[in-house]
Chains A and B, each alone.
Chain A
Amino acid sequence: GDSVTQMEGPVTLSEEAFLTINCTYTATGYPSLFWYVQYPGEGLQLLLKATKADDKGSNKGFEATYRKETTSFHLEKGSVQVSDSAVYFCALSGNTDKLIFGTGTRLQVFP
């Protein structure tokens, strides 16, 4: 079945460092891909999405490109802030209403 694999955390960075969180997927057909973020004490919220190959999703300085050839959707940010500390979830939808989530990666950014 469909699945999402993302890197183990925690990822610990200093403020203004470059961030990459890896995400790869297994799916039949052409899934849509997402990154959700969960700030401390809150539910998840959509960060960005891409619905077809080579699409780039972007929001709040974060970017991810849908790479069909490598079945990947890595999350990147050029300069992280303390306020970016959160848990990040990669997810896919096989064009149904359901999402399949990765295990989540905790990001800790220190001043």
Chain B
Amino acid sequence: DVKVTQSSRYLVKRTGEKVFLECVQDMDHENMFWYRQDPGLGLRLIYFSYDVKMKEKGDIPEGYSVSREKKERFSLILESASTNQTSMYLCASSFPTSGRTYNEQFFGPGTRLTVL
């Protein structure tokens, strides 16, 4: 069974704090993703990593950075948290797409972050 775990289910931080969200997967997936989920907006991709130390900006990277030092771990960093970053954050992982074979993304349970 693929497992994607996230370090916290709920997190409360103050404006201006540096926040780390950790994600670990146990299936040797090359790809890892960070999304934020907001009501009425669905899931929006923040960053994508296709290999160790490789990253690509998603649709809404502003205010975020990422780190992938090991294949199984992908961290999302809020350098200076702001109230508009209050959201649900979802991590996912997958094997790379090969030809027309799409490889399913497996999601973690999410971290609900509140920034006060």
Contact = CB atoms under 8 A, between A and B. Distances in A.
Given A42-B109, A49-B102, A97 B45 contact: no
Contacts of B96: 97
A44 B97 contact: no
B38 to A, nearest CB: 9
Interface in B1-48: 4, 31, 33, 40-45, 48
B36 to A, nearest CB: 11
A52 B102 CA distance: 12
Contacts of B103: 97
B4 A93 contact: no
A89 B42 CA distance: 8
| A interface, size bucket | 20 to 34
Contact of B31 (A41, A97, A103): A97
Given A43-B107, A93-B102, A103 B41 contact: yes
23 contacts: A32-B102, A34-B102, A41-B109, A42-B109, A43-B90, A43-B107, A43-B108, A44-B92, A44-B107, A45-B106, A46-B104, A51-B100, A52-B100, A89-B42, A97-B31, A98-B33, A98-B48, A98-B58, A99-B43, A101-B44, A103-B40, A104-B42, A104-B43
